[in-house]
Amino acid sequence: MTFFSNIWRNEKSREIIVQIIVLFFLGWFISWLVMNVNANFEALGKDISFEFLFIPAGYDINQYLIDYDSRDSHLRAGIVGLLNTGLVAFFGIILATLLGIALGIIRLSKNWLASKIAYWYVEFTRNVPILLHILLWHGIIINTLPHPRKAISLGEVTFLSNRGFYIPKPLAESGIELVYLFLVVAIIFSILFAKYCKKKQDLTGIQYPVFWINFSVIFFLPLIAFFLSGMPVSLEIPALKGFNFRGGMHMSPELAALTFALGIYTAAFIAEIVRAGILAIDNGQREAAESIGLKPSKVMNLVILPQARRVIIPPLTSQYLNLTKNSSLAIAIGYMDLVATLGGISLNQTGREMETMLIVMLIYLSVSLSISALMNWYNSKVKLVGR
C-alpha cells in the first residue's frame, strides 16, 4: 500500500499516471466513435468504400480551372471544386489584405473624417454575419446589373451584366518570346541593381530611388520589346452571341460576390489587427524616427511597420484561415467550390456521406495547415531575431 501511495505522492510519477489515464480515456473515446460508426453503418446495411471516387460524376460544373467534363470522375470534380475554393480564397486574401492594411492605417490617421469612416466601416462590416454579406453582394449583382442583352459596356470591350463581368482576353501570337525574354532580363537586372544599391547605401549612405528605377525597367523594357516585335498580342473581345457573351475572360457573379464579401468582411478584422500592431509600437520609436528627419511615409515603412509586422502576423494567419474556411459558404449562392462539388452533388449522387465528408474535412484541414505553415515560416523570418 505504501508503495502505491508513494508513487502517488511523488510529483513526477503522479504526472505520468494522470497522463496515462487521460490517454487511455481519449483512446477509448476515439475507438468508441469508430466502432459506433461501424455498428451504425452495419445496422443501415452500408459499407465504407471510396470506389465512387473513380466513377463518372455525370454532372457539369460551370467554372473549371482544369479541363472538366461530365464524363470525368467524382475525384476530378472534387479537384475542380478544390481549385475553385483556392481561386476565391486567393482573390479574397489579396483584397482583404490590401483593404485591411489601408483601413488600419487610415483609422489611425489624424484626419478626423478619414478615421471616422474607417471606424464605421470596421464596426458595420464585422458585426454583420458573413453569410449576409455574401447574399447581399450576390443580390446586388444579380438584381441591379442588367441582362446580358442590355449589358453595361465599357468601351465596347468590357461588359458588366448580371451573368458576370467580361473582359478581353489577351492571346499571345508568335514573336511574344522576345517580350518574355526582356521581362526576365529586366527582373534579373532589378534584383542585382537592388542588391548593388543596398551595398552602396551601407557603405556610403547614398540612396537611390531603387523602386522607381526598377519599376520603370520592368515596365518599359518589355513594352519596348512588345513594339519591336510588332505587337504580338491580340485581344479576344467578348461578344454577345445567343443567350450570353462568348469569348474573353469571364468572372461569374457568384465568384465576384464571394470575393467581395469575403474580402470586405475579413478586411475589417485585418484593419483592427493592423491598428493593434501599430499601436503596440512604443510612441518613442515614432518620435525618434521623426526627430532624425524621416518623412511620415518613411517613418511608417521603415520604422513602424517592420516592427508592427511581428505583432500582426500571427493573428493575420488566423484571418487568412477564416477566410479560406468561410469560402465554404459559397454553397449558399451556388458557387461550385469543394463543398458544392464533392461535399454536395457527389455526396448526393453517390449517397456516400461519411466518405465525402471525411475527404472534404481532411482537405480543409490540410489546406489550413499549409497556410499556417507558410505564415509561420514568414513569421519566423520577421520575428525578433536574438543577436
Which one, 70 or 366, has the nearer CB to another protein? 70
**CA–CA separation, 387 and 384 (whole Å):** 9
Q: Which stretch binds another protein (CB under 8 A): 121-129, 203-211, 341-349, 372-380?
A: 341-349
Q: Which stretch binds another protein (CB under 8 A): 105-113, 207-215, 348-356, 368-376?
A: 348-356
Which one, 43 or 203, has the nearer CB to another protein? 43
Which one, 155 or 242, has the nearer CB to another protein? 242
Which one, 246 or 383, has the nearer CB to another protein? 246
Site size for another protein (CB under 8 A): 41
Which one, 205 or 242, has the nearer CB to another protein? 242
Q: Is 45 in the site for another protein (CB under 8 A)?
A: yes
| Cell triple for 50 | 471510396
Q: Using CB under 8 A, which of 81, 344, 359, 360 touches another protein?
A: 344
Q: Is 160 in the site for another protein (CB under 8 A)?
A: no
Q: Is 33 in the site for another protein (CB under 8 A)?
A: no
Give the residues across from 153 on adjacent strands.
Answer: 159
Q: Using CB under 8 A, which of 348, 366, 370, 380 touches another protein?
A: 348
Q: Which stretch binds another protein (CB under 8 A): 17-25, 53-61, 77-85, 210-218?
A: 53-61
Residue 37 identity (one-letter amino acid): V
Which one, 321 or 330, has the nearer CB to another protein? 330
Q: Using CB under 8 A, which of 1, 44, 292, 385 touches another protein?
A: 44
Query: SS3 string of the chain?
Result: CHHHHHHHHCHHHHHHHHHHHHHHHHHHHHHHHHHHHHHHHHHHCCCCCCHHHHCECCCCCCCCCCCCCCCCEHHHHHHHHHHHHHHHHHHHHHHHHHHHHHHHHHHCCCCHHHHHHHHHHHHHHHCCCHHHHHHHHHHHHHHHCCCHHHCEEECCCEEEECCEEEECEEEECCCHHHHHHHHHHHHHHHHHHHHHHHHHHHHHCCCCCHHHHHHHHHHHHHHHHHHHCCCCEEEECCEEECCEEECCEEECHHHHHHHHHHHHHHHHHHHHHHHHHHHCCCHHHHHHHHHCCCCHHHHHHHHHHHHHHHHHHHHHHHHHHHHHHHHHHHHHHCCCCHHHHHHHHHHHHHCCHHHHHHHHHHHHHHHHHHHHHHHHHHHHHHCCCCC
- Least distance between another protein and beta carbon 261 (Å): 17
**What separation in angstroms does the CA of 315 have from each of 103, 212, 251, 253, 319?**
16, 32, 31, 30, 7
Of residues 95, 98, 117, the one with CA closest to residue 107? 117
Per CB under 8 A, contacts with another protein among 120-139 are none
Q: Is 349 in the site for another protein (CB under 8 A)?
A: yes
Per CB under 8 A, contacts with another protein among 236-255 are 241-244, 246, 253
**Mask of contacts with another protein, 58-87, x by CB under 8 A?**
xxxxx-------xx----------------
Q: What radius of gyration, in Å, describes the C-alpha atoms of the chain?
A: 28
Q: Is 51 in the site for another protein (CB under 8 A)?
A: no
Q: Is 213 in the site for another protein (CB under 8 A)?
A: no
Which one, 246 or 298, has the nearer CB to another protein? 246
Which one, 140 or 176, has the nearer CB to another protein? 140
Q: Is 336 in the site for another protein (CB under 8 A)?
A: yes
Q: Is 331 in the site for another protein (CB under 8 A)?
A: yes
- Least distance between another protein and beta carbon 255 (Å): 12
Give the residues across from 53 on adjacent strands.
Answer: none
Which one, 39 or 374, has the nearer CB to another protein? 39
Q: What are phi and psi of 166, to 5 degrees?
A: -120, 125
Which one, 57 or 130, has the nearer CB to another protein? 57
Per CB under 8 A, contacts with another protein among 280-309 are none
| Cell triple for 93 | 486574401
> Which residues would be at the binding site for another protein (CB under 8 A)?
35-36, 38-40, 42-46, 58-62, 70-71, 142-143, 147, 162-163, 241-244, 246, 253, 331-332, 334, 336, 340, 344-345, 347-351, 353
